[in-house]
Amino acid sequence: MCEGTADHRKQSIESSSYLERVFREVIPAMGESVTIYGWSLSDQDQHIVEQITRNPPQRVAISVRGGSQAFAQQAEEIMHRAGVDQVDFYDSESLGCWNNPTEALQED
């Protein structure tokens, strides 16, 4: 579901009971704080933003790769329009992130 038009993405969601349940039930009930990792927030993903708008979290943390200021500004505007009060950013390549465990975690 990482590629394709908005219609293709919606069709993928509708053809999978798992994705459809996440889209219709989980996203609108995410809670107070959400972390977004590896999502471009592109126009093709507007349907997901619309679901977030139904019950926006208070805080969203968004990964930024390579320090893209333009992406950060765009993402912050999108999240504020969706009703999110606080938008924070973190470097997706920093230690401790999803695919960059800290040394302490690697030793365990």
Task: Give the tens place of pLDDT for each residue, 22-66.
Answer: 988 998 888 899 888 888 888 888 888 999 999 999 999 998 877
Distance CA 89, CA 50 (A): 21
48 contacts 24 by C-beta, under 8 angstroms = no
Q: pLDDT confidence of 108, banded at 50, 70, 90?
A: very low
